[in-house]
Amino acid sequence: MVEGVPSAHRHQPEVEPVPFIDLVAQHATIETEIQEAVQRVFASQAFVLGDEVAEFECDLAEYCDSRDAIGVASGTDALILSLRAADVGPGDEVITSPFTFFATGGAIHQVGAKPVFVDIEPHSFNLDTEQVETAMTERTRAVMPVHLFGQCAEMEPLWRIAVRNGLSIIEDACQAIGGEYRGRRAGVLGTMGCFSFFPTKNLGGAGDGGLITTDDAELSARLRRLRMHGDVGGYRHVEVGTNSRLDALQAAVLGVKFRHLEQWTEARQQNARRYGELLRHYELLDAVEPPFVLPDRRHVYNQYCLRVKAGRRDEVLASLREDKIGAAIYYPTPLHLQECFAFLGYQQGDFPESEAAADEVLALPIFPELTAEQQETVVRGIATALGRLTSDNDHSHIPAPKFLTAEKKKRAA
């Protein structure tokens, strides 16, 4: 709350709502292609694996520059099956980040192993690789770096650690399809790479779906049988696997969307650049910190997460929601403080950077179809929430930035 400014004056004049994500707008641009793909599957009546899945796996392997790609039922299953293929199980430990979606730690627990958390680097929100070796024990079997929000983690130190200690590296690339580290794509930066096709991902399906990339032929063969109950053919089961196959319908939908992925990624990157310009234009950089792109990275912005300083994140979020402007918190509680992981023995204060990020981070709309006008509405909403734009101060009518005016003229022409 800004002292001396009545609540009624803190909000913008009536504006069009801005959704946090708009899948309907995206679908409208490819509806005919999607319908044709779905009808093709129904006409064939081949719903499980088959040509649709095989073709999509080949496309994704080529895109990531991996030797193979294995479609599975979800991103969570991709993590679990990769851990199993790496022989991670009861009594083992896997080092990962506490500042991530729950599935990262949950997958480690599901195979019977212990998640061992290491704090994040504050600018990228990714694993602080300088702390990894100090967290290792004789039980450590793997490291699971998370390419959070679409930016790859720092991998070279992890490569050296893995070689010295005989560890597997399992990339949680569920938010980072198309992301790059030193010119190499997410998914080929470790032993295996795990992707999610949840509908809100940069490449999202019509439900759940996932995929694993690897250059190791033996791991590929094992992953393919693990997703089919450990069956090597002819109902001969050499180990106990599970049922985790990417449906042909999902593969068909994803195959259509894959053709547009690079265009959508470039739109997300353009939106990120525009946010930077708008935040500078409205002189908000003393109050918020935009995402930091590390050198030699290609950030694909599954989320655009800025940090709101001075403990005002929740205030800004409430104000945006009152103005019907979409925003979200990723993630409000680090994994080491989740109730279900209390048995691990971590306490408040153990990972200060992760805890600070959980208190400050705020995700803004970044979907490809987001317009420049919608982005200005979002940024003006932040400025209003912070008391920089009110009906009774001198900055109420800050003119639109020149680039935005130029875009409007271009569309009008």
Provide the residue ranges of all domains of the chain, joining segments of one domain with +: 7-13+261-412, 26-258
Please report the pLDDT score of residue 401 as a whole number. Answer: 74
Q: Which fold has domain 26-258?
A: Aspartate Aminotransferase; domain 2 (3.40.640)
CB atoms within 10 A of CB 397: 7
DSSP state for residue 167 in the 8-state scheme? -
Which residues, 6+ apart, have CB-to-CB distance to 374 below 8 Å? 16, 18, 365
CA distances from 254 to 150, 241, 267, 300, 303 (A): 19, 25, 19, 18, 20
Q: Which two tokens stand for residue 154?
A: 């720092």
Pairing of strands 192-196, 210-214: antiparallel
**Spatial separation of the C-alpha atoms in residues 46 and 318, rounded to whole Å:** 48
Half-sphere exposure (CA, 13 Å, Cβ side) for 389? 23
Query: In what side-by-side order are the strands of the sheet with 68-72?
Result: 68-72, 210-214, 192-196, 168-172, 140-144, 93-96, 114-117
7-13+261-412 homologous superfamily: Aspartate Aminotransferase, domain 1 (3.90.1150.10)
- Read off the pLDDT of residues 386-407 as tens digits, 9 standing for 90 and up: 999 874 554 455 667 776 666 6
pLDDT of residue 9: 40
pLDDT in tens, 39-61: 999 999 999 999 999 999 999 99
How confident is the model at residue 99, as a pLDDT?
98
Query: Residues 351, 293: contact at Cβ < 8 Å?
Result: no
pLDDT the model gives residue 192: 98
Residue 337, pLDDT score:
98
Kindly report the length of the chain.
413
Residues 59/255, Cβ–Cβ less than 8 Å: yes
How many helices (H) and strands (E) are present in the chain, helices listed first? Answer: 12, 13
Stretches in the chain below the pLDDT threshold 50:
1-9, 11, 391, 394-395
Q: Where are the alpha helices (DSSP H) in 122-180?
A: 156-165
Other beta carbons less than 10 A from residue 379's beta carbon: 23
Q: How much is the pLDDT for 189?
A: 98
